[in-house]
Amino acid sequence: MHLGLRGWLLPAMFVGALYGGWTAGLWQHRWPSLVSVARCVCGGLLMGAGAALVPGGNDSLILFGLPLLGPNAWLAFACMCAVVILAFGLQEVWRRARGRSL
């Protein structure tokens, strides 16, 4: 019975996002640059590779694997945290390098 009501939430979210973009004056058609397409494809490949390596995904990893002390869950979680920290560090290095060249 509640599925019908929940089914309207996704279209409502999209309509709200479109309306917000339109009222903010950001409603524009823009083609993506080749660099942004390449970044998105590389990011998607990395995310897909990581999802293939961790069985069950993040929900089962955090809700079941870690409390049950699964060694593969702890290793996957540690790798995930390390990659996030590394990504933030590389982003900061990139920002500083671009700031010096300007």
Over residues 83-95, mean pLDDT? 92
pLDDT in tens, 31-63: 889 999 999 999 999 888 877 777 677 777 888
pLDDT interval class at 100 (50, 70, 90): low
pLDDT of residue 50: 77
Measure CA of the first residue to CA of the last residue in the chain; give whole Å.
58
State residue 9 phi and psi, 5-degree precision: -70, -40
CA-CA-CA-CA torsion sign (74, 83, 38, 31): positive
pLDDT of residue 73: 84
Q: How many CA atoms lie within 13 A of 91 on its CB side?
A: 6
**Do 77 and 50 contact (CB within 8 A), yes or no?**
no
pLDDT interval class at 102 (50, 70, 90): very low
State residue 68 phi and psi, 5-degree precision: -85, 5
- Better-predicted residue by pLDDT, 93 or 1: 93
**Do 71 and 93 contact (CB within 8 A), yes or no?**
no
